[in-house]
Structure 1
C-alpha cells in the first residue's frame, strides 16, 4: 500500500472522529472497494451516468477520489461501472457510501468487540471489512442480493485481507445458519422489518435499519429484541437513508388524473407534506399511496386499490380535496397529521416501533399512544 494511501486513510480517520472505529478506518483501504471504475453524473442530468476509470486517472487523483467523504456510485440499473462503455441512463443500484455515513450507521447500531453481526447488503464490502477489522472476520456474516455486486465485494474484501461469511441471496430472509446474532444491521432501507431478522436476533440483541416508504418518508429504526420474541424501540434522531431493498420498491405508478371524485375542503395545508416528518406521518396513514406534486397540487395514488386524492388551493383561501376510490386517502392523512400536530409535531425520534410475528405498529410518544400499522 502506498505512503499516499496511508496518509489519506489516516486523514480520513481524523475527519470522521470516531474513537470506536478509528483503528478500522485506518486499517481498511477504501480504494479497494471502488474497483476499477465508478460513476459520476453526466452534467446536470441526475439520471445519466458516466464511468470514471482508474486506468485513465492518475494514482494520486484516484486515491484523492477514494478518500473524499463522498458516495461513489458503482452500479446503475444493474450495470457495473467497469462494464459501462458510454453514458448509462437510470438510477443507482449499488454504491460505495460515504465513509462518515457508514461509520454513523455502525455507531448507531452500537456494534463493539464481542458482537456477532448479520449485515444485510454487502454492497462494495467496505462496511463489512470495517466490521471484520474491529470484530474479527468470524463474527461477521454479510448478505448481498446481486451476484455481480457480491462477486465484486468478495474480491475486494479478500484483497483487504478478510474472510467473513459472505452469502449471495435475499437479505430479507437473513441467514439462519449463523444465528443467533447480537446485532442485525441493514445497509438498505425497508418498508417493514422482515420477520427473519427478528427470529435470528438473540434475546437482548438489536435490529438497526433505515426505513423508507412509498411516499418517500424516512426514519431510522433501532429495536431491541425481548425475551418474548417481540422487538421494540424508538426511531433515532439521525435521518440516515440507504438504497431501498429491491423487493420493497414502489410499483409503477399509473397516469395521474386529478379533479375526480367527491370534493370537500381540506382541514390541513397540503404544503405541510414538504416537511420530512410530516411526510413520514402521512405515509404511516396511507402506506400504499405514492405522492407527487405539480401545478400547486398534492396528489396521492394508491396503486393497489386505484384510490386517489388530490388537493388544490382555492382562490379565496384554503384548499379543496378530491377523493376517489374505496380508500379515502386524504381523510387518513389529515387525521394523522392533526394527531401529530396535536402532540407538538415531534421529529421521527418522537415515534417508536413495536414488532411481533403478526404486527408492526408505529406509535407516537409511548407504546400506548396513537399508532399506525405498517403494511403487511
Structure 2
C-alpha cells in the first residue's frame, strides 16, 4: 500500500500531544516509529463484530485514527467465527501506558504480548534495543513482529513463549509492561523485577472489563500499588474465559423496577468493589435500543436482566438482589473512586484492597 503517510502521522502526533497523552519524553520515539509499519495488510475494525477492512483508503483511515485495530482473528485459523485474538492498541492507550511506565535511560524492560511489534519498537526507540525484551505466545505473530521491527531499524529481543512465565533468562528487569489483560498478576513477574522496579498491567475481572494497575516492587518480594484508570485489552491466551453454563429461561422471575443508579453502578469504582464481593458474577451494560440496561450472570446458570421498567432474574440465585445489596454497601463505604483501590502481590497470591493495603476487600 502506497500513500504519503506523513501528513496522517503528523496529525496523529499533534492530536496526542494536544490531548496531553504524549509527553515530550516520548514524542521523539512516536515521531520515529510510524504506526503503519506495524499494521499488516489484512486487518479488521472492531464493531459489534470484526469487520474486514477491504480498501486501501479504509486501511489508511483506520491506521491513523485513534482506535484499536484487530490484526488477527481466530488465532490465525481460517473459517472461524471471526473473534479478535490480537490487536494493535489505540495510540492514546499506548502513549498513556508508556508514560505510566516511568522509564529512565538505561533501564531494561520486559514487554508481555508483542502483538504487532509497535509497542516494542517504541520502547526500543526510547531506551535502545538492547534494553528491551518482548515475549509473544503466538509463534506466527512473534516471527512477523521480529521481521517488521527489524525493518523499522530496531533489534530488541523478540522471544516466543508464555508471557505468564515472564522471561527468566533476561531477568532482572527494571520494568515489566503487559499489553494483554490478566486476572491475576503472575508472581514470576514480581520475581523477575528488580527491587524498586515497576510492573504495569491491565487487570480484568468478571464484573469489570479491565483496569490498569501499577505495582511497585519491594525488596521483600512483594509488589503493591494502585489502579490508575480503565483499560480494555484482550485476555492472555491461557486466561480466556470458558463457556458458561446455559441459563434456563423457564426459571424467569419478574421483579419490580430496576431503579438503576447508572452513574455509580456502571462506574469502575463500583465494578472493582463488586468484583471482590461477588466473585464469578459478570456484568455488562449498554443502551441497545436507546434506554440503559444491565445484564448480570454467573458461570453456573444464574442471570438477571434489568431496565428502568422491570427486572427479570433466572436460575438459583437472585443476582439483582445480591448486586443491589453490594451497591448499598459500596455507597455506605463512601462510593470510593477507582484510585482508592489497590493490589498487593506476594508469593502467597494477590489481594485487592481499599484505601490501604491493610484494608483487604477479598
Q: TM-score, normalised by structure 1?
A: 0.81
Deviation at 1:99, TM superposition (A): 1.5
Deviation of 1:89 after TM superposition, in Å, equals: 3.8
Alignment of 1:187-206 (within 5 A): 187-206=179-198
d(CA) in 2 for partners of 1:21 and 1:94?
A: 24
Tell me the equivalent position of 1:138. 130
Q: Alpha-carbon deviation of 1:7?
A: 4.0
- The equivalent of 1:27 in structure 2 is 32
Gaps of 5+ in 1: none
SS of the equivalent of 2:272 reads helix
Count of residue correspondences = 351
Aligned to 2:361: 371
Selected match of 1:129 from 101, 108, 121 = 121
User: Which residue, 344, 348, 356 being the options, matches 1:358?
Assistant: 348
Specify which structure has the higher proportion of strand: 1
- Using the alignment, how far apart are the partners of 1:125 and 1:275 within structure 2? 32
Q: CA deviation at 1:283?
A: 1.7
Residues 119-144 of structure 1 show CA distances to partners (whole Å, capped at 9, x for unaligned) of 00101000100000010001001011
Give the aligned partner of residue 14 of structure 1: 14
Shift of 1:337: 3.2
Deviates more, 1:348-357 or 1:144-153: 144-153
**Structure-2 separation of matches of 1:189 and 1:174:** 14
Please state whether the residue corresponding to 2:5 is helix, strand or coil: helix
Query: How far, CA to CA, are the matches of 1:195 and 1:330 in structure 2?
Result: 35
The answer to whether 1:46 aligns with 2:48 is yes
Output the aligned Cα RMSD. 3.6
Residue 334 of structure 2 aligns with which residue?
A: 344
SS at 1:227's partner residue? coil
The verdict on how the C-alpha distance between 1:161 and 1:352 changes in structure 2, with shifts beyond 3 A counting, is same
Displacement of 1:247 in angstroms is 1.8
1:97 aligned onto 2:104 = no
- Post-superposition Cα deviations, 1:70-104, rounded to whole Å, max 9, x if no partner, equal 22211111238xxx7xx974321111212121111
Residues in 1 aligned to 2:70 and 2:308: alpha-carbon distance in whole angstroms: 44
Cα distance change of structure 1 residues 171 and 370 upon mapping to structure 2, 3 Å threshold: closer
Q: Unaligned regions of 5+ residues in structure 2, if any?
A: 287-291
Query: Does the CA-based 8 Å contact 1:259-1:310 persist in structure 2?
Result: no
Instruction: Give, in whole Å, the separation in 2 of the partners of 1:127 and 1:74.
Output: 14
Contact 1:35 1:156 in 2 (8 A): no
Q: Secondary structure at the match of 1:345?
A: coil
Are 2:170 and 1:178 aligned?
yes
CA distance in 1, matches of 2:325, 2:185: 25
Q: If the length of structure 2 is used for normalisation, what is the TM-score?
A: 0.83
In structure 2, the residue matched to 1:207 is 199
Q: Give 1:1-376 correspondences, 5 Å limit.
A: 4-17=4-17, 18=22, 19-40=24-45, 46-52=48-54, 57=56, 63-79=60-76, 89-236=81-228, 238-257=229-248, 273-291=265-283, 298-301=295-298, 303=299, 306=300, 308=302, 310=304, 324=316, 333=323, 336-372=326-362
